[in-house]
Amino acid sequence: MSPAPGENAPLRSPPKCTGCQVNPAAWTKPRVDFCYDCLPGGPFTPPPCSKCATGNNYFSQGMCRRCHPRSPHKPGSCKGCLAWGVYPPHNWMCWSCRWWQSHYPQSVCDYCRRESPVGEQGACRLCLEQARMLQEPGRALDLAEANAHGQQLYFANMHFQRRRTRRLEPGPRKRPPKPRKTPGGWGRPGPAPSTLTVSPWFQTVLIDMPPDAEVLRRRALAEDSELTRYCAAIVREHAERFGWSKRQRNDVIRSLRLLQTLRDTPAAKIRASDVLQLPRYDGNIVSTIDVLAAADLLIDDRPRPIETYFTNKTSDLPPVMRQQLEVWLTIMIDGATTAPRQRARDPLTVRVHVRAIAPAITAWAEAGHQSLAEITAAQVRAALPENGSQRALMERGLRSLFKNLKARKLIFANPMRGMKGTALNPTVPLPMDTALVRQELNSANPAVALAVALVAFHALTAKEVSELLLTDTVDGKLRLNGRSIPLAQPVRDRLARWLDHRSRTWPNSRNPHLLIHQKSAPRLLAASRRYPWKQCAIRPQALREDRILAEVHATGGDARRISDLFGLGIESTNRYLDTLEHADLAAAREDVPGTSPPG
């Protein structure tokens, strides 16, 4: 038998059924920890609802899902526009009012006098929808007349098709409503200033305290300053030029509001490091930086990626040792004009040096050394690996480090002086699995298929693929570094497929690069070298070596042809020609089907 319902039971959220952990418990008073399907001896048929007398969708405490006050399926009225049909999981708000609340400040409506998020014309969303219902075709909204005799409520989350007619002749002007006393939001600013006076002074912060997120949100919604009004036209111009979506444009507007609210000096330029803190408050970073740079209001103090990598590697070192490494890093990145003069190195080269010497530096710091001036030649030899490429790379990094520190008189002696270097063992190019290459050539991702085809047929590098422009492919030919390369037919097919996908996905993109993705489409930047190889099972360097190796064995080692076809130097060409001396490698290629050069 099912338990008898209790009278005057408290209406609270019922716990989950102990048996299935899905349905709510049948009763909270008297307490029944099972649903009617899991009751011992059951399942039992639930009783009809005590309010609506229906026997379906039983929830708990003798009521169905639509009658129980704590049911997630109980409908109600929207807190913003009073529309019927919203539910508790969405905070009793319809979809439009949820967006409305995040973009407009809380204030008193000029027409219905309700406290609600007020939009651009001083009206809440209910008054605005009422005016749209009664709007005459071709006439402007008359909020005062439409809301003079009350409002017509409607169902929530329903979209109405507005009538579109030709604009009528202007009628007699009516008396506008009284201006609001509360400050307006982004949609009701004053005229945009033609020029913006920027102060060169900054207010320094004595105590850095994180702001209250809710207070910041309310202040940002009501924010109206010369900076936001000055940048409004630039935001619109960027949105039209780069094909920004409405959401991205609103994100940039919200970011500018947040920046103006967070700044200690309202008239000063904005640092890029302050923009980088916006993710905590749901802001947009890259697009906001682009807008501030176009407005000449940005101070770009962002650390370079190599500096961030260096900081992560040396954060636990002693202060003196870290300062010595910072001097060396500055010389490597920016070069040196004083003796010994040195050209600036590529950031990738500096990264390799930092990664190679990091184990030795960390081991010396853990041994108790506070400065690199304490390191001796014996300690350097003990820290070097036994052999291999890691030893050669560490030797080169330490030689560069101690040489520059000795020249700047930061150490007494160079422990690497007179120490012979270890030669790097040259690698031998190896063929790839043809089935894997064919699988990626037929990938469902058009970007992957095109990138693999460009490397497999024409041996492009990952950097060249990422930097290709739309104008580099003309009449079936690829113009690259002064060379004109006729594209193979499989490459043309995949290129056409990618261009169709690009035009469908990002029709308004102004990015001139051939390969783009979701983040680079609304900008002019090139995609990363790792795109789209992160979604591919092949490394671009290995695929390029396979293509060159196939050409070497197909031509019998014609050095001039290899150099001209792939743009290689003498040393690089000889590296591939040396594979002809390995009979086992040549035999291995003959045994692998389909290893002839593609195209």
Is the peptide bond prior to 266 cis by the omega test (within 30 degrees of 0)?
Answer: no
Which regions of 164-206 does DSSP assign to beta strands (E)? none
Residue 285 and residue 214: Cα distance in Å, rounded?
Answer: 21
- Identify the CA nearest to 228 among candidates 196, 273, 204, 274: 196
- Predicted pLDDT of residue 1: 36
For 343, other C-beta atoms within 10 Å of its C-beta total 8
- What percent of the chain is modeled with pLDDT above 70? 82
Q: Identify any residues that bridge with 117 across adjacent strands, giving them in sequence order.
A: 106
Distance (Å, whole) CA 234 – CA 162: 30
Q: Across all residues in the chain, what is the average pLDDT?
A: 79
Q: Which long-range contacts (CB under 8 A, 24 or more apart) does 421-424 make?
A: 421/392, 421/395, 421/396, 422/387, 422/391, 422/392, 422/395, 423/392, 424/389, 424/392
**Residue 167 reports pLDDT greater than 70:** no
Q: Which of 54-68, 119-133, 241-255 has the highest mean pLDDT?
A: 119-133
Residue 184 has pLDDT above 70, yes or no: no
The amino acid occupying position 372 is L
Integer Cα distance of 313 and 351 in angstroms: 11
The pLDDT value given to residue 249: 83
**pLDDT per residue over 293-326, tens digit each?**
888 888 887 788 888 888 888 888 899 999 999 9
**Which element (helix H / strand E) includes 63?**
strand 63-64
Distance CA 494, CA 535 (A): 17
Q: How far are the Cα atoms of 48, 56, 178, 257 from residue 221, in angstroms, in the given order?
A: 48, 45, 21, 7
- The pTM assigned to this predicted structure is 0.55
Q: Whose structure tokens read 């590697």?
A: 313
The residue behind tokens 């700044």 is 263
379-425, pLDDT tens digit by residue? 888 888 887 788 888 888 999 999 989 988 888 888 888 888 777 76
Q: How confident is the model at residue 449 (pLDDT cuts 50, 70, 90)?
A: very high
Q: What is the pLDDT of residue 168?
A: 45
Q: What angle do CA 583, 589, 594 make, to 5 degrees?
A: 160
Q: Comparing 196 with 186, which gets the higher pLDDT?
A: 196
Please tell me the predicted confidence (pLDDT) of residue 175. Answer: 54
C-alpha count within 13 angstroms, C-beta hemisphere, residue 366: 7
Closest CA to 308 of 329, 289, 328, 293: 329
47-61, 158-172, 299-313: least confidently modelled range = 158-172
CA distances from 516 to 304, 447, 487 (A): 23, 9, 20
pLDDT-derived band at 190, boundaries 50, 70, 90: low
Q: Is 76 helix (H, G, I), strand (E, B) or coil?
A: strand
Two tokens, residue 229: 């009004």
DSSP 555-599: HTS-HHHHHHHHT--HHHHHHHHGGGG-HHHHHHHHHSTT-SPP-
- Both tokens assigned to 551: 């050409």
Contact 17, 36 (CB under 8 A): no
C-alpha to C-alpha distance for 369 and 416, rounded to whole angstroms: 18
pLDDT tens digit string along 538-551?
888 888 888 888 88
